[in-house]
Amino acid sequence: MIREDYIMRIIHEAVRTLLKLLFGIEEEKEEEIVLSDAVTAEKYKRLCQLARQGQINQAENQLWEQLDGADQEDFKMAILFYEYLNQMTDEQLEQGDYSREEISQGLLAAAKQYGYDGMVGALLS
């Protein structure tokens, strides 16, 4: 339990730092963060809906199908998606056959696709 809480805090702080450094976003609440592209915002809503329904792996698969390594708005969507998962309870993640470690790995993999893996790796270690 303590380990899971620690991982949750580390992921949250990594996300917060990325949003501030890369996008100039200082807000603490995910719902205050706006995706400027309406299409990307709609994709994000669908991913979160799938995750809420316990289909976390399916949502993550769809995320990866949609990521465009050149579109920073897609990277922001990925960051927000992994933060959304990070806010779920351990029970919700377990029901979706997912873990905090997978959130961390997914965030790092997304960062690698956009060339920020060194930064994210340092934040998550």
Beta-carbon-side half-sphere exposure of residue 4 (alpha carbons within 13 Å): 12
Beta-carbon-side half-sphere exposure of residue 31 (alpha carbons within 13 Å): 1
pTM: 0.92
Q: Which two tokens stand for residue 75?
A: 């990277």
Span 23-63, pLDDT tens digits = 998 866 555 677 888 999 999 999 999 999 999 999 999 99
